[in-house]
């Protein structure tokens, strides 16, 4: 048994890509996308037709609606391949406007439903800002499931659990990146690998807390830089993995053991934590890594959303 198949015994494997033609080979259960992945995909010849077709079919519609229709088009293609759910992201420029996120999420779900996709097969991604968490709470009450992305801190995870959101995506690799850059020449790769990786430690803390207190929110480790981060989180509810790392896992026949265990977490002695808005904002502010990576992530996704808009505008102006 290769390590990808072994991992599937403990954890739901999710493909992290907009390149849906790569997915069938790895047989993931779910899939995630984001503006950066969709932007990358539509610039490939194999996927360019999705952009041009969407523009042609909805000529005259507002640009934000055309983008949502393009995202849903990718999502539907992905759902024709996988048995589970696809994550589709709300425009990152709305990350501090709860009502706007709710409205955009409801439109995305309506577009999926118009294509015959059941609401339970869609996860709407919003940034784990205070406003994003409030939007997710309201959406959950309306039967719309969410994936809280750009999650870097324990306080974000606790607040998401309090709001009973469906799923969170702690960003393992970006946490690792920050600590490695911060340490500079003093960084010891071997000492900070595997279970000692700062991103892995963050997810393990969240996993143990959720399982100890019976919090139903699913945990999906994301943003991996190497195989050691993935294998150190075997047993996490879900892991979303790039096609490149999925291929590496499939090529390794070495044994893989469970690293995270819900039963063991329940026996830990952990204090209960809760946050109101002021407490959340202060706790996030106290975590320099999380503050910086959250802001950076929103800026990067917003920038790629703008680039995607520019591609759509160019397609509108070009002769059909």
Residues with catalytic annotation? 125
**Phi/psi at 56 (5° precision):** -65, -40
**223-229, long-range: CB < 8 A, 24+ apart:** 223/169, 223/171, 223/172, 223/173, 223/174, 223/199, 224/172, 224/173, 225/172, 225/173, 225/176, 225/177, 227/3, 227/252, 228/193, 228/194, 228/197, 229/172, 229/173, 229/176, 229/194, 229/197, 229/199, 229/200
Q: Are 259 and 235 in contact (CB under 8 A)?
A: yes
Sign of CA dihedral 277, 278, 283, 288: positive
d(CA 112, CA 119): 8
- What's the CA angle centered on 89, arms 87 and 95, to 5 degrees? 140
d(CA 198, CA 288): 14
* Residue of 47, 53, 55, 52 lying closest to 21 (CA atoms): 47
- Which residue is listed with tokens 């047993």? 235
Q: Per DSSP, what are the bridge partners of residue 147?
A: 125, 167
């Amino acid at each position: 048994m290769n390590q990808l198949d072994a991992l599937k015994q403990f954890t739901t494997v999710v493909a992290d890509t907009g390149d849906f033609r790569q997915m069938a080979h790895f047989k993931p259960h779910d899939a995630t996308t984001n503006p950066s992945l969709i932007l990358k995909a539509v610039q490939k010849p194999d996927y360019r037709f999705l952009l041009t077709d969407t523009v042609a079919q909805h000529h005259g519609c507002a640009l934000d609606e055309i983008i949502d229709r393009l995202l849903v088009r990718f999502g539907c293609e992905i759902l024709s391949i996988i048995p589970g759910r696809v994550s589709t992201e709300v425009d990152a420029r709305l990350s501090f406007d709860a009502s706007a996120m709710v409205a955009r999420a409801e439109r995305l779900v309506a577009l999926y439903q118009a294509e015959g996709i059941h609401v339970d097969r869609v996860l709407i991604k919003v940034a784990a800002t205070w406003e994003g968490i409030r939007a997710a709470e309201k959406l959950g009450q309306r039967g719309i499931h969410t994936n809280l992305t750009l999650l870097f801190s324990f306080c974000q995870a606790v607040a998401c659990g309090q709001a009973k959101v469906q799923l969170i995506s702690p960003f393992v690799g970006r946490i690792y990146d920050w600590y490695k850059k911060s340490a500079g020449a003093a960084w010891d790769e071997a000492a900070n690998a595997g279970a000692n990786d700062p991103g892995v430690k963050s997810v393990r803390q969240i996993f143990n807390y959720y399982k100890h207190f019976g919090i139903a929110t699913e945990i999906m480790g994301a943003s991996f830089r190497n195989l050691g981060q993935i294998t150190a989180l075997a047993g996490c509810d879900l892991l979303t993995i790039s096609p490149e790392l999925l291929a590496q896992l499939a090529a390794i026949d070495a044994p893989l053991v469970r690293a995270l265990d819900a039963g063991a977490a329940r026996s830990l002695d952990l204090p209960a934590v809760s946050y109101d808005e002021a407490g959340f904002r202060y706790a996030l502010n106290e975590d320099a890594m999380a503050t910086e990576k959250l802001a950076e992530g929103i800026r990067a996704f917003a920038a790629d959303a703008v680039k995607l808009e520019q591609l759509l505008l160019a397609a509108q102006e070009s002769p059909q």
